[in-house]
Amino acid sequence: MNLSLQGKNALVCGSSKGIGRAIAIELAALGANVTLAARDAIKLAAVKNELDKSFGQRHRFMSVDFSKSDDLNSKVKTLVANQPIQILVNNTGGPASGFIIDAEEEDFTQAFHNHLICSHLLVKILRKGMIQSGYGRIINIISTSVKQPLDNLGVSNTIRGAMASWAKTMSNELAIDGITVNNVLPGSTMTDRLKEIIQVRAEKADISFEAMQTKMLTDIPMARFADTKEIANAVAFLASPAAAYINGINLPVDGGRTKSL
């Protein structure tokens, strides 16, 4: 099985920490040159140094605010002027927890922009380089909520569903160019985001953090939360030559939590 990413260039969004960082590490381990993207330049520099020391190759980082399209557009166009990007990982921090009835208009519009609009902008910029390289992988980190809405994540459920439909449509259109578009749906993964969700749910239920954590684990057949590396492994496979004929799918990585097929 060919999993090598030698000579491939990857852009990993949200890669200063959590799932994005784990993905960047895994892609670099397979030989890719990784460009890290997020807002925090200090954290990005630390991850880049980690990649440089562990794997070599040619890594870089790009400090960018996804709430500012002009900034993203300018920096990514500068990036691709020097090198094509063959692998794009769209990964953006999820909207705040809360009931959908309590959400304000700006909560939806900001999340829609940061997730779908920015992902669309990146694909439009990177597509030409993928076609010229004869290699294209677009992988979106979404959520199992596209199959089964999650409690107390009203805005997130809405935006993730829109992302999934966008990706499926894009996969049909770009397949002729040899570019695949797939979604990875993480279940409960041990990140700062999960800790925030547990805390909010615990407060609403008036129980301790530990009690809520135990309750959430009962919904997972494997009875544990995912490690970020386990999500990264799925992404790395979809980014590899071995996954060339896998296109337009939603891949849950959730320990069996999602009840639907």
Inside any domain, residue 134: yes
Quick: pLDDT tens for 205-215. 999 999 999 99
- pLDDT for 177: 96
- Is there a single domain that holds both residue 100 and residue 198? no
- Is there a single domain that holds both residue 143 and residue 197? no
11: left (phi over 0), alpha (psi -120 to 50) or beta: beta
- Is there a single domain that holds both residue 197 and residue 113? no
- Is there a single domain that holds both residue 159 and residue 36? yes
In angstroms, the Cα distances linking 124 to 18, 118, 120, 139, 171 are 26, 10, 6, 14, 13
- Is there a single domain that holds both residue 90 and residue 203? no
Task: Please report which confidence band the pLDDT of residue 185 belongs to, taking 50, 70 and 90 as the band edges.
Answer: very high
Residue 37, pLDDT > 90, answer: yes
Inside any domain, residue 258: no
Helices (H), 134-191: 154-174
Inside any domain, residue 196: yes
Structural domain total, the chain: 2
Residue 244, domain CATH: 3.40.50.720
Quick: pLDDT tens for 149-177. 998 899 999 999 999 999 999 999 999 99
Residue 94, pLDDT > 90, answer: no
- Is there a single domain that holds both residue 147 and residue 204? no
Task: Please report which confidence band the pLDDT of residue 97 belongs to, taking 50, 70 and 90 as the band edges.
Answer: confident
Q: Show the tokens assigned to 175.
A: 């397949």
- Is there a single domain that holds both residue 87 and residue 209? no
Provide the domain limits for residue 196.
190-225
> By the 8 A CB rule, do 171 and 180 touch?
yes
Q: Show the tokens assigned to 167.
A: 């990706």
CA 48 – CA 36 distance, rounded (Å): 7
Q: Show the tokens assigned to 232.
A: 């990264």
- Is there a single domain that holds both residue 148 and residue 206? no
Mean pLDDT of 137-147: 97
Inside any domain, residue 159: yes
Inside any domain, residue 1: no
- Is there a single domain that holds both residue 133 and residue 209? no
- Is there a single domain that holds both residue 112 and residue 73? yes
- pLDDT for 53: 95
Instruction: Check residues 204 and 109 and name the one with the higher pLDDT.
Output: 109
Task: Please report which confidence band the pLDDT of residue 96 belongs to, taking 50, 70 and 90 as the band edges.
Answer: confident
Burial of 63 per CB tally in 10 Å (0-12, 13-18, 19+):
middle
Quick: pLDDT tens for 43-54. 999 999 999 999
